[in-house]
Chain A
Amino acid sequence: ETGVTQTPRHLVMGMTNKKSLKCEQHLGHNAMYWYKQSAKKPLELMFVYNFKEQTENNSVPSRFSPECPNSSHLFLHLHTLQPEDSALYLCASSQDSRKLAGGDEQFFGPGTRLTVL
């Protein structure tokens, strides 16, 4: 248990569906992240939120829409996805994404395995 939970753990959706991924952290952190991990590829950072404000969008297509209502919760809204969007989506949190000192390690959730048909 890392203190970061993600639901659902598995999701199968069609290209016309709308679904949402949820992440919750119980660590009192202020920064939250979405990563994508496709098969046989390194993790790719998608979005960063710090104190509920989005600080990074790593050129992610608009069919992925993040939402951060508070520092403990992060959502990823999905609509009109493509089969190539099938991947493991990982959420992480850290104390503060702007922290200058090293040691701002990120704690990851278990991920949501997404399959787009």
Chain B
Amino acid sequence: DAKTTQPPSMDCAEGRAANLPCNHSTISGNEYVYWYRQIHSQGPQYIIHGLKNNETNEMASLIITEDRKSSTLILPHATLRDTAVYYCIVRVLFLGQNFVFGPGTRLSVLP
């Protein structure tokens, strides 16, 4: 079972920041938070991951709360091509642990 909860859907205006929340209240100290997205009829695409500190790359920023029980993925300037299902995943840090995808958040970027 997925260890995260996300809203099923969100809308965002084109050009505005999209803030996608994720709750992972049972996260343990050695679990990373990963974000993937899946554009319709394509394979999932890795976005970003983090452990404790906030992270930023060319695609997005990841903000993790101090207690690590929730996080937010930020797309700073959403475009129509960012319309996708976004998955928040926590992954235990031991041998052989695999990714468990939940239902994710369907983000619709509106013109």
B103 contacts A103, C-beta separation under 8 Å? no
A113 CA to B104 CA in the complex, in Å? 21
A42 CA to B111 CA in the complex, in Å? 28
Q: Kindly identify which residue among A43, A55, A101, A107 contacts B46, using a CB–CB cutoff of 8 Å.
A: A107
Q: Which residues of A contact B43 (CB under 8 A)?
A: 2, 4, 90-92, 108-111
Q: Which residues of B contact A110 (CB under 8 A)?
A: 42-43
B98 contacts A103, C-beta separation under 8 Å? no
Taking the closest CB of chain B, its distance from the CB of A55, in whole angstroms, is 6
Query: Any chain B CB within 8 A of the CB of A45?
Result: yes
Q: Which residues of chain B from 4 to 35 have a CB within 8 Å of any chain A CB? A: 32, 34
Instruction: Given A42-B2, A42-B103, A100-B93, decide whether A105 and B98 contact each other with a Cβ distance below 8 A.
Output: no
Q: Is the interface of B mostly helix, strand, loop or mixed?
A: loop
A43 contacts B94, C-beta separation under 8 Å? no
B44 contacts A43, C-beta separation under 8 Å? yes
Q: Which residues of A contact B103 (CB under 8 A)?
A: 42
Having A43-B44, A45-B99, A111-B42, one finds 15 other A-B pairs with CB under 8 Å, namely A2-B43, A4-B43, A42-B104, A43-B101, A92-B44, A100-B93, A100-B94, A100-B95, A102-B34, A107-B46, A108-B43, A108-B44, A108-B45, A111-B41, A113-B41
A13 CA to B103 CA in the complex, in Å? 28
What are 28 inter-chain pairs, A to B, with CB distance below 8 A? A4-B43, A33-B98, A42-B101, A42-B104, A43-B44, A45-B98, A45-B99, A45-B100, A48-B96, A55-B96, A56-B96, A56-B98, A90-B44, A91-B43, A92-B43, A100-B93, A102-B32, A102-B49, A102-B51, A103-B49, A105-B46, A106-B99, A107-B46, A108-B43, A109-B43, A110-B43, A111-B42, A111-B43
A98 contacts B95, C-beta separation under 8 Å? yes
Q: Kindly identify which residue among A2, A33, A91, A98 contacts B45, using a CB–CB cutoff of 8 Å.
A: A2
Taking the closest CB of chain A, its distance from the CB of B53, in whole angstroms, is 12
Query: Any chain B CB within 8 A of the CB of A86?
Result: no
Taking the closest CB of chain B, its distance from the CB of A17, in whole angstroms, is 23
A103 CA to B99 CA in the complex, in Å? 12
Q: Which residues of A contact B95 (CB under 8 A)?
A: 98, 100
